Structure 1
Amino acid sequence: MTITHALRVHAFTLATSVAVSLTLLSCNPDRLKQTEALKQEMADKKIKRVTNADLNERVDAWGKQIAELAQKELEDKLKAGKSADSLCELRQLPKTAALAKRYALEIDLLGPPDIQNPKLAPKEREVLDAYLYNAENKLPQQANIQRIADTLYVFNTAVPAESPICKACFGDQKQPLAVWRLAFTKREIIRRISVKKK
C-alpha cells in the first residue's frame, strides 16, 4: 500500500467517523433541548432598544388580552356551578395558568381586603383603594399600569360590577369589587419583544 493510498483510506475513515458522530449527536433529544436553550440565550443577549413607552404598550396590550381571557374562563366556570372558593383563588383555571406560564407573569384576583395587604407595594394598594372609591361612587373604572422598583410592571383592571365574579368572590364585602392584577417582570417583557418589530 502506498503512502498516498494509506492517507486516502485514513481520510475516508476519519470523514466517516465524523459523519456518524454528527448524525448520532443530531438525533440526541437532549442535544436538541440544549440547542433550543442556547438559541434562547443568544436571542436574550441581542441588543434591543426598548423604551419605557414600548414596555407600557406591551404590558397594556398583553394585560387587556390576558385579563379578558382569564375573566371569561372564571365566569364560565362560575356559571357552570363550580365551587367559587377554589375558582376565586384562580385554581382549576387551566387556560389562565397556561397564560401565566407563557408570559412568565403572576395573575391574581384582588378585592377590598387587599387594600391592607402588606405583600402589595404601597402604590398598588393606593390604586386598589382608588378602584374601590370609583365602585362606591359608580364612577368609570380604567385599566392601570404601575411600575414597581423599575423591575416589575403591574397591570390592573377592574371586573365589571355586573359580572358574577364580584358577587361570588367578594360578595361578603360592603362594596363587592374584583380587580385583576397581572405582574410582569421587566426582563421577561423585553425577552418577548421581537427584535424585528423594533
Structure 2
Amino acid sequence: MYLHSQILSLILITLVAACTPDRVKYTPELKQQMSDMKIKRVTNADLVETVDELGGKVTAVVQKELADSLAKAVAQVRKQQLCQLQNLPRLNAISKKYGMTVRLLGPADVQNKTLDPKEREILDAYLYNAEQKQPQIANIQKISDTTYIYNAAVPTENAICQTCFGTEKTPLAVWRLSINKRDVVLRMNASVKKKPAN
C-alpha cells in the first residue's frame, strides 16, 4: 500500500512538473489577452481623438513616401503603379502594423458606389473646396459600429495631385484610411501603458 502511494505521488509530481514550464511560458500572453478582453470605458471622443492622431501621423508618412517615389519615377507605368499605392514598403508596413486599409481617392470616387454614402458626401465637399480653392481639413466618419474612416486631402500644389489626378477637371487627391475600432482601442491601451506613472 505504501509503495502504491509512493508511485501515485511520483506520477503526480511528474505531471505537475511537466505542466509548469508551459504555464510560466504563456502566463504573460494570457494576462495580456485577458486585459485586452476586459470591458473598458472608452468614450466616442476618446476614439475620435485617437483616430485623428493616428490618421494624421500615417498620412504624413505615406504622403511623403508616395511623393518621393513619384519624384524618382521615370516610366509612366511606374507612376501609375505608385498612384495605385503599389510597391510602397512603408505604406504596406504601416497598414499591417495598425490593421488599416489605405487608399488614395480622386474626383471620380464621388460617384463610387462601393463607398458609403457619407464618404461620398465628404468627397464631394472636398471637391467643392478644391474648386473654390478653399482650405481643406481632415475628416473622421464612423461608418459602422466597428469602422472609422479618416480622410485628409493632399495639398493641390503637391505632385501627387498632378501626377495621379492631373487629367481631371479639378485635380484632387484624398487619403482614405479605414481603421477598425478594436485596433484603435488596443492602440489606446498601449499608449496608456507607455505613459510614466506620476
Q: What does 1:120-139 correspond to in 2, within 5 Å?
A: 120-139=115-134
Aligned to 1:19: 17
For residues 55-94 of structure 1, the C-alpha deviation after alignment (integer angstroms, 9 at most, x for no partner) is 1101100000011111111112111216111111111112
1:135, distance to aligned residue in structure 2 (A): 1.2
1:142, distance to aligned residue in structure 2 (A): 0.6
Q: What does 1:27-46 correspond to in 2, within 5 Å?
A: 36=29, 38-39=30-31, 41-46=33-38
1:155, distance to aligned residue in structure 2 (A): 0.8
Aligned to 1:118: 113
For residue 95 of structure 1, give the secondary structure of its aligned residue in structure 2: helix
Matching residue's letter, 1:103: Y
Alignment RMSD (CA, Å): 2.8
Which of these residues, 44, 51, 76, is aligned with residue 43 of structure 2? 51
1:86 matched to 2:84: no
TM-score by length of 2: 0.83
1:12, distance to aligned residue in structure 2 (A): 4.2
Which of these residues, 166, 170, 193, is aligned with residue 171 of structure 1? 166
Cα gap change, 1:41 to 1:138, in 2 (>3 Å): same
For residue 97 of structure 1, give the secondary structure of its aligned residue in structure 2: helix
1:123, distance to aligned residue in structure 2 (A): 1.3
Cα gap change, 1:12 to 1:58, in 2 (>3 Å): same
Distance 1:69 1:7 in 2: 68
Cα gap change, 1:111 to 1:51, in 2 (>3 Å): same
1:180 matched to 2:178: no
For residues 86-138 of structure 1, the C-alpha deviation after alignment (integer angstroms, 9 at most, x for no partner) is 11111111211121122211111000010110011111111111111111221
Cα gap change, 1:21 to 1:189, in 2 (>3 Å): closer
Which of these residues, 165, 177, 185, is aligned with residue 190 of structure 1? 185
For residue 197 of structure 1, give the secondary structure of its aligned residue in structure 2: helix
Alpha carbons 1:48, 1:195 under 8 Å: kept: no
Unaligned runs of 5+ in 1: none
Matching residue's letter, 1:177: L
Aligned to 1:156: 151
Matching residue's letter, 2:17: A
For residue 151 of structure 2, give the secondary structure of its aligned residue in structure 1: strand
Equivalent pairs, count = 190
Cα gap change, 1:150 to 1:6, in 2 (>3 Å): closer
Aligned to 1:72: 64
For residue 192 of structure 1, give the secondary structure of its aligned residue in structure 2: helix
